[in-house]
Structure 1
Amino acid sequence: MPQMAPLWWEILFLMFIFSYLTMNILIYFNNKKENINQTNKNMNNMKNNKIMNWKW
């Protein structure tokens, strides 16, 4: 019969994997939200800059 790791090792490993994946998911969506806000600010700036003051 093969040797098996203690149950707490497996639980520790699974908790590490779960926390790692959760952290990466949160970072991804947080960055995505910041990027969306940044693009909205850029769009607002572009709309405000559409008035052209031509000096001939």
Structure 2
Amino acid sequence: MPQMMPMSWLSLFIMFSTTLILFATMNYYTMIPLTKTDKKKETSQKNLNWKW
């Protein structure tokens, strides 16, 4: 198996780093945040009368 010269390793590292950064930023900025427009859910409260 032939060894690769250092410039080739550097170019591979730069290529994979840029693709990682590119896909990470695309994934971050293409997500559409969902705004909550529905009414606030009312929680049922149970009144407990404690008898000591």
TM-score, scaled to structure 2: 0.61
Query: What do you get for the CA RMSD once the two structures are aligned?
Result: 2.0
Higher Cα Rg, which structure: 2
Task: State the one-letter code of the partner of 1:29.
Answer: Y
Q: Aligned residue for 1:7?
A: 6
Amino acid at match of 1:16: M
Q: Measure the CA separation in 1 of the matches of 2:30 and 2:2.
A: 44
**Once superposed, which parts of structure 1, at least 4 consecutive aligned residues long, lie more than 3 Å away?**
none
Mapping of residues 17-28 of structure 1, within 5 Å: 17-28=16-27
**Structure 2 portions without partners, runs of 5+:** 40-52
Decide which structure has greater helix share: 1
Structure 1 runs not aligned, ≥5 long? 48-56
**1:31 is matched with which residue?**
30
Alignment length (residue pairs): 39
List per-residue Cα deviations over 1:1-53 (Å, max 9, x = no partner).
x6311100000001000000000000000012xx11xx32x83xx77xxxxxx
Distance 2:26 2:13 in 1: 20
Percent identity over paired residues: 5
